[in-house]
Homo-oligomer: A and B are copies of this chain.
Amino acid sequence: MSIQRHGTTRRYSDSVVHGGTVYLVEVPANLEADAAAQTANLLASVESLLAQAGSDKSRLLLATIYLADMADYDAMNAVWDAWIPEGHAPTRACLQAKLANPKYRVEMVLTAAVAQD
């Protein structure tokens, strides 16, 4: 089992694949947008990262969702619920936490199975 990294900087990788599993962390790029738009932006990036790693959104295993303000819970969920393929939701935790950039309203840590599985 080798390790494949994507989008590797000095500090982090966008995703890392090992043993049939891909690990990824994503934040939004549209920092002036509201929580719904940031979630949509983030999840679009997640789709690209999953594809790059040989996975897709029907293969998510575990999601940890951090919201800067739990008041955004419903707004985030509306986007999430529409995005997840029915019958394929990962197990999921959602928490409020102060994030590294005060403009981030949402951050997600995701584990998924790669497609050859």
**Complex interface: chain B residues within 8 A of A87 (CB):** 5, 8
Q: Once bound together, how far apart are the Cα atoms of A2 and B58, in whole Å?
A: 12
Does A93 lie within 8 Å of B66, measured CB to CB?
yes
Interface of chain A residues 85 through 102 with chain B (CB within 8 A): 86-100
- Give the shortest distance, in Å, between A36 (CB) and chain B (any CB): 15
Which residue of B13, B66, B77, B94 contacts A91 across the interface (Cβ within 8 Å)?
B13
Q: Once bound together, how far apart are the Cα atoms of A51 and B90, in whole Å?
A: 18
Question: Which size bracket describes the interface of A in this complex?
Answer: 35 or more
- Give the shortest distance, in Å, between A83 (CB) and chain B (any CB): 11
A10-B84, A84-B10, A89-B12 given; A19·B21 CB < 8 A: yes
**Complex interface: chain B residues within 8 A of A2 (CB):** 117
Does A12 lie within 8 Å of B97, measured CB to CB?
no
Which residue of B77, B89, B93, B98 contacts A13 across the interface (Cβ within 8 Å)?
B89
A10-B84, A10-B89, A86-B10 given; A61·B16 CB < 8 A: yes
Fill in one digit per residue for A1-38: 1 if any B CB lies within 8 Å of its CB, else 0.
Answer: 11101001111111110111101110000000000000
